[in-house]
Structure 1
Amino acid sequence: MESNPRAVLERLCAERGEDFAGLSRMLGRNSAYIQQFVRRGVPRKLKEEERKKLARFFGVPESLLGGPPDADKPPPGLIPVKRTLVHASAGPGAFAGEERGGPYFAFDERWLRTLTPSASSKLSIIRVEGDSMAPTLNAGDDILVDLGDCMERLRDGIYVLRADDVLVVKRLAIHPTGRRVTVQSDNPAYPDWPDCDIDAIHCIGRVIWAGRKLG
């Protein structure tokens, strides 16, 4: 995991399509403030409130932006879920070799238990690539994947699958008889994979929630 707050902030901006000037204004600073911090090292470190605001905005631990490790502990009643820094493609696919532990989101415990009984260690946030699942899922959406809800309970729904060493996110439609399944794209511009052997499906986890940026 990156430990340089400047490198982390630059990467997050590139991933999320944000710009330094917009972040500066959000902090109530002049438009060059974040650019100077990232590119020139001025100021030497962010103020605590600035760091907290940026960490909340990007949904990452404060420690990635220069905060102390104990600043990452979620408040009581919130369950932390790790974000896997690999994209589950709704298009050509993302290589599984990119997987690594990353920042986490924290969810209200009672709300999360209405979605799944799985432990937080069995949950992961993954970023969506491509548009084959649009309009249900769009490129850049974050999806909550239940890694403990897969082959043993396979049923109609949206899943992250491994296919030819890449990760894809697709809708599964289980045939009422026999061990067959259709792998579907919600975008009609993309073909389905009909009548697949259910034993040939390599399921990673079921998608149980999605979050997206508006506008």
Structure 2
Amino acid sequence: MLVEDPRAALARLAAERGVSLSRLSRLIGRNPAYVQQHVTRGSPRRLGEEDRETIAAFLGVDEAVLGGRATRAVPVARFDLAASAGPGGLAEIEEPRAALMLPPEMLAGLGVRAADASMIRVAGDSMVPTLWPGDDILVDAAQTAVSAKGGVYVLRLDEVLMVKRVVRGAGGLVVTSDNADAPSPGSVAADRVAIVGRVVWVSRAL
């Protein structure tokens, strides 16, 4: 079996995902040309372990593809920006921080592909008792279709990022908070909403 050179694999994966090498450089806190020089000139010859882990998580691949040791754990990108369970936060999700390594069996059991998974921190109390401030939620970006039964989703409503319960209603979507004391957007036109993904798992500190 022919094994792809890690630098060639990195260039291919970046191109397939439409991500520039300069963005990957910024992702790991390096100068914009760092990853380009690694790929084209072999300088540095190998990426550092932390840099490789961060890039692998961002690209949704095992570190072994980029020259690291194979691992049974699957890297899932985590984002510093909190998805508001209150008034809502700005909609831009920036660069991920260090990945969370999850067992592949867990993702498979949830029906989630690593490439579609991300972790986002919850802020606000409008989804209590389902979600609490500080919870880290696992979001499946492949699940963006909302049924009449609905579920809990990360979404952008009028360019504001939030996590809410969403069901499909007549002529649009119904967006609500689980906390009865918190305001709910209610019925909204579907074109005002962009579904980021469905919440399928929550991590909570006791």
Structure-1-length-normalised TM-score: 0.60
**Conserved? CA contact 1:79–1:108, under 8 Å:** yes
After superposition, the CA RMSD in angstroms is: 2.3
- Paired position in structure 2 for 1:180: 172
User: How far apart, in 1, do the equivalents of 2:171 and 2:153 lie?
Assistant: 17
| Distance change in 2, residues 1:71/1:197 (3 Å) | closer
User: How far apart, in 2, do the equivalents of 1:80 and 1:88 lie?
Assistant: 20
Match of 1:126 among 117, 120, 130: 120
Match of 1:199 among 191, 194, 203: 191
Taking the TM superposition and a 5 Å limit, the aligned residue runs for 1:160-179 are: 160-175=154-169, 178-179=170-171
Match of 1:139 among 133, 142, 159: 133
| Distance change in 2, residues 1:143/1:69 (3 Å) | same
SS of 2:107's equivalent in the other structure is: helix
Output the amino acid matched with 1:159.
Y
Give the structure with the larger helix fraction: 1
Contiguous gaps of at least 5 residues in structure 2: 1-26, 30-47, 54-62, 64-68
Contiguous gaps of at least 5 residues in structure 1: 4-66
1:116-160 residue CA offsets vs partner (Å, 9 max, x unmatched): 24x32221100000000001101100000111210xx22200001
SS of 2:105's equivalent in the other structure is: helix
User: How far apart, in 2, do the equivalents of 1:181 and 1:167 lie?
Assistant: 16
SS of 1:121's equivalent in the other structure is: helix
- Paired position in structure 1 for 2:151: 157
SS of 2:181's equivalent in the other structure is: coil
User: How far apart, in 2, do the equivalents of 1:86 and 1:202 lie?
Assistant: 17
| Distance change in 2, residues 1:98/1:180 (3 Å) | closer
**Conserved? CA contact 1:179–1:199, under 8 Å:** no
User: How far apart, in 2, do the equivalents of 1:88 and 1:75 lie?
Assistant: 32
Task: Give the % identical residues.
Answer: 38
**Conserved? CA contact 2:89–2:162, under 8 Å:** yes
Taking the TM superposition and a 5 Å limit, the aligned residue runs for 1:46-195 are: 68-69=49-50, 72=53, 76-97=71-92, 99-117=94-112, 119-150=113-144, 153-155=145-147, 156-175=150-169, 178-195=170-187
Output the amino acid matched with 1:127.
R
User: How far apart, in 2, do the equivalents of 1:200 and 1:166 lie?
Assistant: 10
**Conserved? CA contact 2:107–2:114, under 8 Å:** no
1:72-115 residue CA offsets vs partner (Å, 9 max, x unmatched): 55873211101012110001222133522211111111121111
Structure 1 residue 68: Cα displacement: 4.5
Structure 1 residue 2: Cα displacement: 7.6
**Conserved? CA contact 2:75–2:100, under 8 Å:** yes
Output the amino acid matched with 2:50.
P
- Paired position in structure 1 for 2:201: 209
